[in-house]
Amino acid sequence: MKIRAKNGGQTVDITLPATDMDMQYCMKCIGIEDIVPVCCISEVWDEPSYFGFLKDQTVSMDELNFLARRLDGMTEYEKRVVGVYSSETGIREMKQLINLTYSLQGLSLLTDLTDGNRVGLRLYLDRHLAISEEEKSKMDFNAYAQKIFSEGKCKFLPHGILVDQGFQMEEVYNGKTFPEYIDRPDETVAVLSLENEAGDKEYLYLPTDISAMDKVKKRLNIAAFAEGIVNGIENIRLPESILPSPEDMCMSLQGDVQKLTLFNEMCQTVSRFDETKMDRLAMAAGFVGTGEFTDITYIAKHLDEFEIHPQIHTDKEYGEFLVKEAGMFEVDEILLPHIDYAGVARDKRQATMADSGFIPEGFVGTQRAIHEYQEYQGEFADLLEKNGIPCETFCLYSSLAGMMYQDGEEQETLYRSELADYEEQIQKAILKEWHVEEEPRGLMHYFDGNRQVAAKVISAFPRVQNIRGELFGVLECSICQPLTQNEIYELKNFWDGQMSDGWGEGFEQRPIYTQEGELYVSFWTQERHWGVMTEEELDRIWNHGMTQTL
């Protein structure tokens, strides 16, 4: 389903279902900052157009998005039943529409009556949901269809015949908190259920993000994760051996958003793993001897450093695998019985592996010492709540350049002094840039360098700042500890890369509309006198007549 949302004179097109972060960004584009947004739907594109009645309605966007998630998981037939029934009965309220998607038992929509047996089977399945092969072979579906028609529970419509066989609307959604619904089972790793003191229940589908967390807290009417009650964690795809039992996890996660953050990071790292890779991860973690979320996250990111062979439990078996299956070297079959397979395995382990050994599941070898896989402390994890860590602001500065276009033709190049007139428009464009403001760590979400830098720099957001009448690009960082010169150098390199090939590359391609024309602003410049500077370095350049090269 595609819609156009409207707030005042601003509109944005949204394809539903959308992630919570995507929804938050789209709402921000039309000036809505509410965690649980409400706005008007000005257009609906839907095939077939059963949900056109949403046009000009003011709805909760979270409810509409959940409805879209439910519809997205339905068959085309089920969606037609929902659309036709809601249209015919005048259901317009989001709560009722959501509950309707859970209440289809007993409702049928018939569009082809040419085969009585097929019609009867359709009616039977819609009423009873399932049928065994034995019962199916004995059932007279033609007679069953005639019986239902004779009872007069049919309504003839332009879309077909709507049949009611004891339909009842169930209240699965109470209008406050959403029921559990996993619409991306291939990506969802675990589901955490959270309650407030009133007993209202909500769900976090891990991996998640701060946008989804904020919405869950809003619906539960709690200010922080610690105010909720964790009453269950459903494991969807993780091997049980790499995490505590659900009961233990409920107790250990109770009120501890930091532990949940690290668990969520682990889920994010393995969310694309298939079953085979999950099993390999479990063996690697078992060999390292860890169940810590941070360790498993690090192991998962470096799983290709592990040589893993299930069901191989001795050097002899490993040696035979190397020679006969892996083709370690060519050997005449006549000589195979005389090879010291255990010796081959020991030589291979000693020459190519830092650590190796056998666990109950099989053989595991590593390129690095085991302790190196137990040193990560979650420095790169994205926050699920904005915490109260004492921070100070640290900024990096760089030169800006702009290009003004009118009627598609280049008008002039604008430099720092000219760009100062457009500070407000440029800053607004930055704040609307895709997802950067929604990520709690800003551009640090994409940082994968030095762990010490990642631990010290809590967040980093692009900005612009007028300094002595000239507009500069700024990376505004929140740091919890002072940075060393080497760490500043690495942060500079990261920001330089983001300006030239990352965030800045996308930003400079999007127009900023002004009265004079379309303005394109680049954070990256090849000017000889300008690089990425700290505040002290910028002051020094100003004091030296702006001629020093960094």
DSSP-derived secondary structure for 11-56: EEEEESS--HHHHHHHHHHTT---SS-EEEEEEEE-SS-TTGGGTT
0.75 surpassed by pTM: yes
CA distance 192 to 207: 10
Band of residue 530 on the pLDDT scale cut at 50, 70, 90: low
Out of 244-258, 326-340, 443-457, least confident range: 326-340
How high does pLDDT run on average in the chain? 90
Q: What is the pLDDT of residue 386?
A: 82
Q: What is the pLDDT of residue 436?
A: 76
CB atoms within 10 A of CB 411: 14
Chain centre distance of CA 361: 32
Cis bond before residue 17 (omega within 30° of 0): yes
Nearest-5° angle of CA 361, CA 365, CA 368?
Answer: 140
pLDDT at position 250 over 80: no
Percent of the chain with pLDDT over 90: 75
Q: What is the pLDDT of residue 550?
A: 35
3-state secondary structure (DSSP) of residue 59? strand
Percent of the chain with pLDDT over 70: 95
pLDDT digits over 112-126, tens only?
999 999 999 999 999
* Mean pLDDT across 57-76: 95
Q: What is the pLDDT of residue 548?
A: 40
Q: What is the pLDDT of residue 338?
A: 60
pLDDT at position 153 over 60: yes
Q: Of 216, 183, 185, 181, which Cα lies nearest the Cα of 202? A: 216
Hey, CA dihedral for 49, 53, 56, 60, is it positive or negative? negative
CA distance 455 to 68: 39
Q: Of 317, 287, 291, which Cα lies nearest the Cα of 303? A: 287
Length of the chain: 550
H or E element, residue 78 = helix 76-89
Cβ atoms of 440 and 386 closer than 8 Å: yes
Chain centre distance of CA 142: 48
At position 480, the amino acid (one-letter code) is C
pLDDT at position 527 over 90: no
3-state secondary structure (DSSP) of residue 1? coil
Out of 160-164, 418-422, 546-550, least confident range: 546-550
Nearest-5° angle of CA 307, CA 311, CA 317?
Answer: 80
pLDDT digits over 342-362, tens only?
999 999 999 999 999 999 999
CA distance 286 to 236: 20
At position 123, the amino acid (one-letter code) is L
CA distance 222 to 201: 12
Hey, CA dihedral for 497, 503, 506, 512, is it positive or negative? negative
Tokens of 371: 């302790």
At position 29, the amino acid (one-letter code) is C
Q: Of 446, 449, 537, 441, which Cα lies nearest the Cα of 493? A: 449
Q: What is the pLDDT of residue 435?
A: 73
pLDDT at position 272 over 50: yes
Q: What is the pLDDT of residue 488?
A: 97
pLDDT at position 252 over 80: no
DSSP 325: I
pLDDT at position 274 over 90: yes
Q: Of 443, 54, 441, 496, which Cα lies nearest the Cα of 261? A: 441
Hey, CA dihedral for 399, 404, 405, 411, is it positive or negative? negative
pLDDT digits over 458-494, tens only?
999 999 999 999 999 999 999 999 999 999 999 999 9
Q: Of 195, 181, 206, which Cα lies nearest the Cα of 228? A: 195
pLDDT digits over 397-427, tens only?
999 999 999 887 777 889 899 999 999 999 9
3-state DSSP helix/strand/coil % of the chain, to nearest 5: 40, 20, 35
Tell me the HSE value of 286 on the side-chain side, using a 13 A CA sphere.
19
Q: Of 212, 236, 214, which Cα lies nearest the Cα of 224? A: 214
Band of residue 53 on the pLDDT scale cut at 50, 70, 90: confident
CA distance 484 to 394: 12
* Mean pLDDT across 14-43: 93
Helix 275-288 and helix 257-270, axial crossing angle in degrees, nearest 10: 130
Band of residue 545 on the pLDDT scale cut at 50, 70, 90: low
pLDDT at position 248 over 80: no
pLDDT digits over 196-218, tens only?
999 999 999 999 999 999 999 99
